[in-house]
Amino acid sequence: MKHIETIKEMQSLALNWKRSGITIALVPTMGALHEGHLSLIRSACQAVQLHGKVVVSIYVNPIQFAPNEDYSKYPRTLQNDLRLCQEAGADAVFTPSNEVMYPSGNEDSNAPLRYSTFVSEEVLSKTMEGISRPAHFRGVTTVVNKLFNIILPDYAIFGEKDFQQATIIRRMVRDLNIPTQIIVSPIVRESDGLALSSRNRYLSPDERTQALCLSKALKMVQEKVSIQSFPAKELKEEIRVMIEKQPDAKIDYIEFFDPESLVPVVEVNTGTRMALAVYIGKTRLIDNAIL
Ligand code: AMP
């Protein structure tokens, strides 16, 4: 497995592969890899089969974090990540620095050298995560575009865990005619229901127990909606009462929406998607499910 840090080396390797007719699959991550990421790498291996190449990118993208968020304390575990990528069957791991991704140029004299091009999706990005984190998706779509141009993937694998993100990337690929097929891979959970996340390692043992309220809320609504439909307002209130029983839980949002358009629904049926974001202490967790 190759470990590549420069754009030049990554791009020329990808170009050589393409010229030899080799299929490429990309798994974009921010590292601190867990079983959820590894399931994406396995989907990538399946997509390209024996003769293709799988690239994992590990990059904590500063422009998708707001100044008050956890960019500087985000877990960075590169040596362990490299080992896991190798074991999961990756052919290359790309770990660019901020300086190669967003060159700052000379701030004093030479403004044109500074990084100044961004990609933004303007409809799906305005709800849920986009309300709580207004600059987040612009950062994500920009970095994913850059990674696509550097790695030239035929396939890119994203997790259903970040359902809104995957929907936005699909829209971006369609709107900008990017010749990459997007594959969305199911959420990997702990045996008690908690969705795996690099941010779970911020949780104390007590917070870890309280964090189960997200998956429990999804399960409760799934069971109710399997029998009959309910007004979204009524379900939101019921979940609010349930989650607020946890002493350190603070709801950011609970939403019921159409899975294609992400438009909120008034009446919740089977086929509606539910997503929620909840702070457990200082840690912000998200989860979602189809009902
Ligand atoms: P991150 O490193 O958090 O940016 O995540 C990188 C990719 O892994 C994204 O496409 C996520 O949706 C996906 N991912 C994160 N957690 C999980 C999980 N528990 N199950 C499946 N995919 C996941």
Look at the pTM and tell me if it is higher than 0.85. yes
DSSP state of 197: -
SS3 assignment, position 71: coil
Alpha-carbon separation of residue 100 from 5, 9, 124, 219, 272 (angstroms): 9, 12, 29, 43, 41
Measured in Å, residue 113 CA sits from the centre of ligand 1 at 33
Q: Determine the pLDDT at residue 105.
A: 60
Given pLDDT bands bounded at 50, 70 and 90, which one contains residue 103?
confident
The CA 36 to ligand 1 mean position distance, Å, reads: 6
The number of the ligand 1 atom at minimal distance from the alpha carbon of 189 is: 19
> Which CATH code fits 198-285?
3.30.1300.10
Is residue 106 scored above 60 in pLDDT?
A: no
Cβ atoms of 124 and 89 within 8 Å: the answer is no
- pLDDT for residue 107: 52
List, edge to edge, every strand of the sheet that includes 53-58.
Answer: 2-4, 92-94, 53-58, 24-29, 155-159, 181-185
Average pLDDT score over residue span 80-89 = 98
Average pLDDT score over the chain: 96
> Stretch 172-177: mean pLDDT, rounded?
98
Which residue shows structure tokens 């964090």?
211
Nearest CA to ligand 1 atom 5: 29
Question: Taking residues 258-264, what's their average pLDDT?
Answer: 97
C-alpha 287 – ligand 1 centre gap (Å): 11
Q: How far is the CA of 106 from the centre of ligand 1 (A)?
A: 35
Q: How far apart are CA 217 and CA 253, in angstroms?
A: 13
Rounded to the nearest angstrom, the distance between the alpha carbon of 197 and the centre of ligand 1 is 7
- Right CATH for 2-185 from 2.40.50.100, 3.40.50.620, 3.50.50.60, 3.30.70.890: 3.40.50.620
Where are the chain's structural domains? 2-185, 198-285
Catalytic residues: 37
Q: What's the pLDDT tens digit per position in 134-152?
A: 999 999 999 999 999 999 9
- Taking alpha carbons only, the member of 204, 133, 206, 199 closest to residue 165 is 133
Q: Whose CA is nearest to atom 13 of ligand 1?
A: 159
Among 33, 70, 158, 161, name the best residue to mutate to test ligand 1's pocket (greatest count of ligand atoms within 8 A of Cβ).
161
The pLDDT of residue 246 is above 70: yes
pLDDT of 104: 79
Atom of ligand 1 nearest to the CA of 187: 20
Give the residue from 280, 159, 260 showing the smallest Cα distance to 211.
Answer: 280
AA identity, residue 200: N
Which residue ranges have their beta carbon within 6 Å of ligand 1?
A: 29-30, 36-37, 39-40, 158-159, 161-162, 185, 187-188, 195-198
Q: What is the mean pLDDT of residues 123-129?
A: 98
pLDDT in tens, 176-228: 999 999 999 999 999 999 999 999 999 999 999 999 999 999 999 999 999 99
**Ligand 1 atom nearest to CA at 198:** 3
User: Hey, whose CA ends up nearest to atom 6 of ligand 1?
Assistant: 29
Cα angle value 252/254/257 (rounded, 5°): 135
Looking at ligand 1, which residue's alpha carbon is closest to its atom 19? 196
Ligand 1 atom closest to Cα of residue 157: 10
- Burial pattern 95-106, b for ≥16 Cβ within 10 A else e, equals bbeeeebbeeee
Tokens of 164: 């809104």
